[in-house]
Amino acid sequence: MKVSRAPISIFILFFLSTVLPHNLSLGSQITCAGIVPMKHRNNMLSISDFGAVGDGKTLNTNSFNAAIDRIRNSNSSDGTLLYVPRGVYFTESFNLTSHMTLYLADGAVIKAVQDTKNWPLVDPLPSYGRGRERPGRRYISFIHGDGLNDVVITGRNGTIDGQGEPWWNMWRDGTLKFTRPGLIEFKNSSNIVVSHVVLQNSPFWTLHPVYCSNVVVHHVTILAPTDSPNTDGIDPDSSSNVCIEDSYISTGDDLVAVKSGWDEYGIAYNHPSRDITIRRMTGSSPFAGIAIGSETSGGIQNITVENITLYNSGIGIHIKTNIGRGGSIQGIKISGVYMEKVRTGIKISGNTGDHPDDNFNPNTLPIVNGITIKNVWGIKVERAGMVYGLKDSPFTNLCLFNVTLTGTQSPPIWKCSDVTGAAEKVNPTPCPELTATTQQGGSCENHI
Ligand SMILES: *[C@@H]1O[C@H](CO)[C@@H](O)[C@H](O)[C@H]1NC(C)=O
Ligand SMILES: *[C@@H]1O[C@H](CO)[C@@H](O)[C@H](O)[C@H]1NC(C)=O
Ligand SMILES: *[C@@H]1O[C@H](CO)[C@@H](O)[C@H](O)[C@H]1NC(C)=O
Ligand SMILES: *[C@@H]1O[C@H](CO)[C@@H](O)[C@H](O)[C@H]1NC(C)=O
Ligand SMILES: *[C@@H]1O[C@H](CO)[C@@H](O)[C@H](O)[C@H]1NC(C)=O
Ligand SMILES: *[C@@H]1O[C@H](CO)[C@@H](O)[C@H](O)[C@H]1NC(C)=O
Ligand SMILES: *[C@@H]1O[C@H](CO)[C@@H](O)[C@H](O)[C@H]1NC(C)=O
Ligand SMILES: *[C@@H]1O[C@H](CO)[C@@H](O)[C@H](O)[C@H]1NC(C)=O
């Protein structure tokens, strides 16, 4: 590969390396910054030096692969920054490598080709046993990372555009052969940062860290049309030490959904999602703002959600699992949620979602224990809440504290079954299953 370096790109790279604030924080606000060690990249490459042309016409797959191969083979442990200048760069899917930063300049757009015929396939995830929406293999994500360490995707608010439309249409008309590709997937990887980028029009789930640890996402904007199917924003899946903050998401499905595989496959793989923080997020979703599940078979534990603002959404907070899932959902702490124009404020349900196949064991029930939801304020909320536990595995130790939801219209305002817990300072008055416990001396005391 012949490399010619334009002086202008050297100047830009030098500029970036000197003035980029690596530890910018706003006042004394808590941030995710401590979770992934900040690496300074001494080596830099520009995608232009590998023949890429950002004219919105040229296909740049070879340039991305050549640049990333160079980084892979350079073997440098401080890693390399790959600079994508302003322009629109068409490419097929590509793989990242360890110790790299993919840096999108202001006005840089990496755009997926809309080739649904030759898109590569990869094996199903073991905790799913098949593709999430179709049996068998699944299309590789547009940008993919497998078994990586120390990867950053950042820049000056550049865009990664999945051009999902033809994929959404295949879903709509039932012609999908395999599960649609996500926009960005990291699998079995650690020390990952995604920040200061716009992720848009994913064919399927947008950002999917699966079997990962130490993942930080902040200052991202995730966009997809309200009617685009399954375009979840961020899906931490069987992953730990994930921190998501200061982002805006508006898509066609759940904004953030914490998952851990499903049914017999997820139970056998046994890989929980745990130690996850989600804070200072804003957005709107026709489904849920913050979701846990419905794929919860590896277990979901110690999830902290703080300061969320939701507009025009289906459900504010949705904790969902299913029979046959097994796994336990424990230690979920949600506080500081403002919601406006939402159909259902809070929903916790034991019978949501589909199954991979008919081999799930209907007697393998999920355990839901220890959920705190406090300091919630909602206006124009049509239905306050629904909590449906399972008869043979009632949900236990649920605490609702300081929850005010106004504008409820369609009764029943609250509806509960097979749940124990307590409710204090909750308006409108919640279902007897929760208020009765409070009267009998149960309380939220050890939750708050
Ligand atoms: C960034 O970190 C360095 C070294 O820890 C410190 O000297 C500097 O003051 C920090 N800058 C800001 C803006 O916090
Ligand atoms: C890459 O690093 C490994 C382990 O540090 C070393 O064995 C190998 O020789 C290096 N390769 C190159 C091309 O520098
Ligand atoms: C990208 O990674 C996937 C999964 O690890 C692999 O199957 C595929 O061959 C890789 N593609 C390229 C072009 O290296
Ligand atoms: C996960 O990635 C590491 C490299 O980081 C590799 O050694 C290991 O085999 C991978 N595990 C699986 C299950 O793919
Ligand atoms: C980044 O781009 C998005 C989409 O164009 C825009 O909504 C957002 O305000 C931008 N963020 C910043 C910090 O410029
Ligand atoms: C829960 O997760 C947070 C990070 O979100 C972590 O700081 C804390 O140590 C975890 N608690 C336990 C008991 O593991
Ligand atoms: C959440 O918001 C409250 C009130 O605005 C503020 O005091 C608190 O610091 C915020 N917490 C986080 C983690 O941002
Ligand atoms: C109740 O929650 C609201 C936010 O919804 C908050 O402003 C208020 O301080 C909370 N009250 C108590 C007693 O915690």
Model pLDDT for residues 160-200, shown as the tens digit of each residue: 999 999 999 999 999 999 999 999 999 999 999 999 999 99
- Cα-based distances in Å from 255 to 48, 153, 192, 283: 34, 20, 20, 7
* Closest ligand relative to 96 C-alpha: 3
E strand or H helix at 100, and its extent? Answer: strand 100-104
Q: Does 61 contact ligand 5 (Cβ within 6 A)? A: no
Is residue 253 annotated as a catalytic residue, yes or no?
Answer: yes
Closest by alpha carbon to 405, among 388, 430, 387, 434? Answer: 430
The answer to whether the CB of 403 falls within 8 A of the CB of 426 is yes
Q: Is it the case that residue 8 has pLDDT exceeding 80?
A: no
Summary mean pLDDT of the chain: 92
Question: What letter would DSSP give residue 22?
Answer: T
What average pLDDT does this structure show over 327-350?
A: 97
CB-based contacts of 177, cutoff 8 Å, min separation 6: 134
Q: Is it the case that residue 23 has pLDDT exceeding 90?
A: no
Name the active-site residue from 49, 150, 237, 253. 253
Which atom of ligand 8 lies nearest, measured to the CA of 377?
A: 5
* Closest ligand relative to 222 C-alpha: 5
Which atom of ligand 5 lies nearest, measured to the CA of 223?
A: 4
Q: Is it the case that residue 49 has pLDDT exceeding 80?
A: yes
- Cα-based distances in Å from 196 to 152, 217, 263: 11, 9, 36
Q: Does 417 contact ligand 4 (Cβ within 6 A)? A: no
Q: Is it the case that residue 203 has pLDDT exceeding 70?
A: yes
Identify the pLDDT of residue 127. 98
d(CA 120, CA 134): 15
pLDDT band at 24 (very low <50, low <70, confident <90, very high): low
Domain limits of the chain? Answer: 37-247, 254-448
Q: Does 69 contact ligand 3 (Cβ within 6 A)? A: no
Q: Does 58 contact ligand 7 (Cβ within 6 A)? A: no
Superfamily (CATH) of domain 254-448: Single-stranded right-handed beta-helix, Pectin lyase-like (2.160.20.10)
pLDDT band at 439 (very low <50, low <70, confident <90, very high): low
Identify the pLDDT of residue 22. 46
Q: Does 122 contact ligand 3 (Cβ within 6 A)? A: yes
E strand or H helix at 90, and its extent? Answer: strand 87-91
What average pLDDT does this structure show over 147-169?
A: 98
* Closest ligand relative to 125 C-alpha: 4
CB-based contacts of 429, cutoff 8 Å, min separation 6: 414, 435
pLDDT band at 76 (very low <50, low <70, confident <90, very high): confident
Q: Residue 219's CB: how many other CB atoms inside 10 A?
A: 15
CB-based contacts of 43, cutoff 8 Å, min separation 6: 74, 76, 78, 79, 80, 81
The answer to whether the CB of 236 falls within 8 A of the CB of 209 is yes
The answer to whether the CB of 117 falls within 8 A of the CB of 168 is no
d(CA 357, CA 126): 14
Q: Is it the case that residue 443 has pLDDT exceeding 60?
A: yes
The answer to whether the CB of 295 falls within 8 A of the CB of 259 is yes
Q: Does 379 contact ligand 7 (Cβ within 6 A)? A: no
pLDDT band at 29 (very low <50, low <70, confident <90, very high): confident
Burial class for 84, CB neighbours closer than 10 Å (0-12, 13-18, 19+) = buried
The class (CATH top level) of 37-247 is mainly beta
Say which amino acid occupies 415: K
Compute the distance from residue 124 Cα to the ligand 5 centre, in Å: 34
Identify the pLDDT of residue 1. 43
Alpha-carbon Rg for the chain in angstroms = 22
> Among 375, 403, 404, 447, which is best to mutate for testing ligand 8, by the most ligand atoms less than 8 A from CB?
375
Q: Pairing relation of β-strands 395-405 and 367-388?
A: parallel
Which atom of ligand 4 lies nearest, measured to the CA of 146?
A: 2
Identify the pLDDT of residue 2. 44
What average pLDDT does this structure show over 94-120?
A: 97
Q: Pairing relation of β-strands 213-223 and 240-250?
A: parallel
Identify the pLDDT of residue 77. 79
Identify the pLDDT of residue 447. 66
Q: Residue 140's CB: how many other CB atoms inside 10 A?
A: 20
Topology match between the domains 37-247 and 254-448: yes
